[in-house]
Amino acid sequence: MAEKTNKGNDLQRGERLQIMLDAAELRALDDFRYQNRMPSRAAAVRELLRRGLAAVGYPDFADSAGSSTYGVIESPPPDTEPS
């Protein structure tokens, strides 16, 4: 049975990864998360992994994700006025 999101959609990430962080690493992760307005620690970890992989040359991770990827801010297309 596939794992579901809170909204009932199929979860696209099928693997779970557990890591241990010391206090300084956790503080740095949370600082990054809040400065980038990310919805969860998991989203921050995924973005940091994407950036790290892109930095060492993995081509699939060369484009950094925008804030809309995190699901925090939904803005109208640039040609429209907000209602």
pLDDT, position 67: 46
Residue 11 lies inside a defined structural domain of this protein: no
- Per-residue pLDDT band for 63 (boundaries 50, 70, 90) equals low
Give the contacts of 61 (CB within 8 A, at least 6 positions apart): 50, 51, 53, 54
pLDDT, position 15: 81
Residue 53 lies inside a defined structural domain of this protein: yes
- Between the alpha carbon of residue 80 and those of residues 9, 41, 52, 70, 74, the distances in Å are 29, 32, 35, 22, 13
Domain limits for position 36: 23-61
- Per-residue pLDDT band for 58 (boundaries 50, 70, 90) equals confident
Higher pLDDT, 59 or 3: 59
pLDDT tens, residue by residue, 30-46: 999 999 999 999 999 99
Q: How many independent structural domains does the chain possess?
A: 1
